[in-house]
Amino acid sequence: MTERIITYAEAIREAIGQAMEADESVFMLGEDIGVYGGAFGVSGDLYHRFGEERVRDTPISELGIVGAAVGAALVGMKPIVEIQFSDFTAQAMDQIVNQAAKIHFMLGGELSVPMVLRAPSGSGTGAAAQHSQSLESWFAHVPGLKVVLPSSPADAKGLLLSALDDPNPVIVLEHKLLYKTSGHVPEEMYRTPIGVSNVVRNGTDLTIVATGVMVSRSVEAAEQLASAGIEACVIDVRTLSPLDMDPINASIAETGRLMLVQEAPKHVGFMAEVAARVSEGPAIYSLTEPVLRLCGMDVPIPYAPQLEKSVVPQLDDIVEGAKNLVRGV
Amino acid sequence: MATITPLFAPEQGTISANKEAASASLESLLAIRFFEEAVDGLFARGLMHGTMHLSIGQEAVATGVCAALRKTDYITSTHRGHSHCIAKGADLTRMMAELLAKQTGYCRGRGGSMHIADVETGNLGANGIVAGGIPIAAGAALAQKMQGRDNVVVSFFGDGATNEGAFHEALNLAAVWDLPVVFVCENNKYGMSFSTTKSMKVEKISERAAAYGLPGVTVDGNDVDAVFEVAKEAVERARVGGGPTLIECLTYRHKGHSKSDKNLYRTKEEIEFWKTKDPVGIFETRVIESGQLTAEEVEQLTQKVRDAVRLAIQEATQAPDSDPAELLSSVFRQVS
Ligand SMILES: Cc1ncc(C[n+]2csc(CCOP(=O)(O)OP(=O)(O)O)c2C)c(N)n1
Ligand SMILES: [Mg+2]
């Protein structure tokens, strides 16, 4: 079979289009997703294919549109909300955290909120502090939300289709730098399961756990490391909630070394959870070195390109960190 | 330093009827226009990074409003904030330095276009969050009142921002607390791609003021004199404890929303139509026809402002790049 190569953005659009064709209750709402085609071009031609009722351009009212999605989801629709930048989920936080996440539980299981909220996340575009954040741990900290960070075109499609099948609110954080990257994506409507970590590369010298854009960066680092004689196992957590630790624990048993890579600031970040889980179980006895966390600095993302790069792990930082971990320095 | 003559309000009458005031306003209009044309050019040549929201076509709003303000009055600004920053009196060199990611920029290269602000001239910040500055303006106005000062706060925002909860909450607070704040909506017909005809059911955004019990007025936002007149009245009322006003300025942006805009949501004809209502051209013609400035004087001002922008680029280019070393120590102000 020949590989069908499409971009991350195209893969998401394909998933939405297929879901809308298959299920009348699926619809999209968000700012500038209509004729404009989405701030990052994700919705593209969907407006022309499905019309303005189902690809619904909204006023700039994040709280209102997420609330409207929650309400529609309660009574039989499957809304996909696009928040233009993940930073603006802050405007909608009441509906996400106090409403969507809790309604099923609070109401004794009588209702549920099958809503998907997609938002571009991360830095690297020179958009400065209010348009570049990695806020995944905000959501992962709230019981009742599932949190997904696709790191490849294939996962972007498969995880989104799983999110749409899920009867619960799912937050999908897409990385801006990945939208134009491409990879093999099957045409059929396949699902990538939520709650299953993915071993992207095998290796026996150290275990690298990464999320989002740090996954491809870690794989690239692993290739450089291989030419220096170091074999890294790279694991993409893929879904932060629920979190699948099994492949991580299994890999540590082989490597004895754990490096955790995330773009978000280090303090109280998601990787602290991974480290804590390792330390709570037998896997900790496999470790021969302290855990190494490579994270964003605890600063807002600055505008200047050289500043922006300096606050987020880059390829060289990952290579360097891995070498130091393996050599025990 | 590359500065232009500060804006001011004539003792009486409107701007174009006073030679000095007309001349300062024309400098402001031209400075905004040339500054933004310059950054547009630098961006196209790959010398500027990130994204950019240009206010070309909307220069009369910031100019007319800021002419009604004192230096000690405050403003809150938006993602489309170059015009507000310039009209309030910022140094073009430090603005350019910020956009060029230099250590000498107003935000030390950390903020860029979307957060540009000269705090010295009362600018409390451009804002990447639509409507983010509106409640902040109300709070700054509350502080003026509590501290017994007579400064006024102006909040600039777009038509799209008036669909955010923050706008509605801030207007209500300002109304019930009688705050010295003037809400200035730059209605350029679109919030990014979304037309006001689709994003709201009211005909005029100024109608929204009635819901909170404050005066609302709509004005031709491409006419410096008209903007100045309503702004002056609102600012004077606010200054003496008469409470807030909502001013809607009808205007249009000639350029796309940002650097990634393909203009799919509006027609060429519409853009061309609004170019015939160019605020800079309208004001130039008016001051020449009224005899306040001669064509030669206008030409001299034009040259002067062009030179200032050129100097700003030159000085900013030579400045040192912003420094990553100080980032970690910059998150909090030192506890003394
Ligand atoms: C809370 C929030 N939502 C969305 C955006 C993305 N965004 C930036 S500017 C803009 C349009 C704003 O329209 P308007 O208020 O009319 O101002 P204009 O751009 O026309 O000057 C949008 C949607 C944002 N920055 N903040
Ligand atoms: Mg607008």
Instruction: Read off the pLDDT of each residue in A79-100 and give the average, rounded to a whole number.
Output: 98
> With a CB-CB cutoff of 8 Å, which residues 159-188 of chain A face chain B?
none
Distance from CA of B259 to the nearest CA of A (A): 11
- Continuous segment of H or E residues that includes residue A57: strand A55-57
> With a CB-CB cutoff of 8 Å, which residues 47-86 of chain A face chain B?
57-64
The Cα A232–Cα A161 span in angstroms is 30
Closest CA to B286 of B64, B49, B72: B64
A215 touches A264 (CB < 8 A): no
User: What is the per-residue pLDDT across A136-166, written as a single tens digit (0 to 9) for each?
Assistant: 999 999 999 999 999 999 999 999 999 999 9
Which residues on chain A are in Cβ contact (under 8 Å) with B160?
Answer: 59-60
pLDDT at A318: 98
CB pair distance less than 8 Å for A31 and B163: no
Q: Is A61 in the pocket of ligand 1 (CB under 6 A)?
A: no
CA of B75 to the centre of ligand 2 (A): 18
| Amino acid letter for position B88 | K
Distance from CA of B205 to the nearest CA of A (A): 14
3-state secondary structure B233-260: HHHHHHHCCCCCEEEEEECCCCCCCCCC
Which residues on chain B are in Cβ contact (under 8 Å) with A305?
Answer: 49, 101
pLDDT at B94: 98
Q: Is A253 in the pocket of ligand 1 (CB under 6 A)?
A: no
Q: CB-hemisphere CA count at 13 Å for B139? A: 10
* Interface contact A111, partner B, CB < 8 A: no
pLDDT at A222: 98
Q: Is B192 in the pocket of ligand 1 (CB under 6 A)?
A: yes
pLDDT at B260: 84
Which residues on chain B are in Cβ contact (under 8 Å) with A297?
Answer: 327-328
ipTM > 0.95 for the complex:
yes
Q: Which residues contact B294 (CB under 8 A, 6 or more apart)?
A: B288
In Å, the largest CA–CA distance within chain A is 59
Atom of ligand 1 nearest to the CA of B129: 26
Q: Angle at which helices B295-318 and B19-44 pack, to 10 degrees? A: 40
Q: What domains are defined for chain A?
A: 5-184 (3.40.50.970), 198-327 (3.40.50.920)
DSSP string of A171-226, one letter each residue: EEEEEGGGTT-EEE--SS-----TT--EEEE--SSEEEEE-THHHHHHHHHHHHHH
Q: Could you give phi then psi for residue A316, rounded to 5 degrees?
A: -60, -35
- As a residue count, chain B comes to 336
Closest CA to B79 of B157, B178, B181, B166: B157
Instruction: Read off the pLDDT of each residue in A90-114 and give the average, rounded to a whole number.
Output: 98
B334, part of any domain: no
* Interface contact A127, partner B, CB < 8 A: yes
The Cα B51–Cα B242 span in angstroms is 40
- Residues forming a β-bridge with A232: A206
The Cα A104–Cα A106 span in angstroms is 6
Could you give the residue numbers annotated as active site of A? 62, 131
Q: Could you give phi then psi for residue B274, rounded to 5 degrees?
A: -70, -25
CA of B159 to the centre of ligand 1 (A): 9
pLDDT at B336: 85
User: What is the per-residue pLDDT across A228-268, written as a single tens digit (0 to 9) for each?
Assistant: 999 999 999 999 999 999 999 999 999 999 999 999 999 99
Neighbour tally for B149: CB within 10 Å: 12
A221 touches A318 (CB < 8 A): yes
Question: Which residue has a Cα nearest atom 5 of ligand 1?
Answer: B130
Atom of ligand 1 nearest to the CA of A39: 6
State the pTM of this model.
Answer: 0.97
B333, part of any domain: no
pLDDT of residue A329 exceeding 90, the answer is no
Closest CA to A144 of A106, A197, A173: A106
Alpha-carbon separation of residue B295 from A173, B288, B309 (angstroms):
57, 6, 21
* Interface contact A305, partner B, CB < 8 A: yes
Q: Which residues contact A105 (CB under 8 A, 6 or more apart)?
A: A143, A144
Which residues on chain A are in Cβ contact (under 8 Å) with B170?
Answer: none
Successive 10-residue mean pLDDT values, chain B, 336 residues = 96 96 98 98 93 96 98 98 98 98 97 96 98 98 98 98 98 98 98 98 98 98 98 98 98 94 95 98 97 97 98 98 94 93
B291 touches B72 (CB < 8 A): no
- Which residue has 């619960």 as its token pair? A168
The Cα B155–Cα A214 span in angstroms is 40
Question: Which residue has a Cα nearest atom 17 of ligand 1?
Answer: B158
Q: Is B57 in the pocket of ligand 1 (CB under 6 A)?
A: no
pLDDT at A328: 82
Q: What is the DSSP letter of B321?
A: B
- Which residue has 């294939």 as its token pair? A154
Neighbour tally for A99: CB within 10 Å: 20
B330, part of any domain: no
DSSP, collapsed to helix, strand or coil, labels residue B204 as: coil
Q: Which residues contact B258 (CB under 8 A, 6 or more apart)?
A: B51, B52, B53, B192
pLDDT at B259: 83
Q: Which domain holds residue B195?
A: 15-313
Say which of A59, A131, A297 has its CB closest to residue B327. Answer: A297
A167 touches A130 (CB < 8 A): no
End-to-end CA separation in angstroms for chain B: 32
End-to-end CA separation in angstroms for chain A: 46
- Domain CATH number, residue B73: 3.40.50.970
* Interface contact A242, partner B, CB < 8 A: no
When mean pLDDT is compared across A284-288, A325-329, B286-290, B321-325, the lowest value belongs to A325-329
CB pair distance less than 8 Å for A131 and B128: yes
Ligand nearest to the CA of B192: 1
Q: Residue B31 is encoded by which pair of tokens?
A: 């400075």
Instruction: Read off the pLDDT of each residue in A183-201 and give the average, rounded to a whole number.
Output: 98
pLDDT at A1: 60
B320, part of any domain: no
pLDDT at A70: 98
Q: Which residues contact A76 (CB under 8 A, 6 or more apart)?
A: A25
pLDDT at A2: 76
What's the domain count of chain B? Answer: 1
Q: Residue B210 is encoded by which pair of tokens?
A: 């009635």
B308, part of any domain: yes
Neighbour tally for B290: CB within 10 Å: 12
User: What is the per-residue pLDDT across A5-35, written as a single tens digit (0 to 9) for each?
Assistant: 999 999 999 999 999 999 999 999 999 999 9
pLDDT of residue A299 exceeding 80, the answer is yes
B175, part of any domain: yes
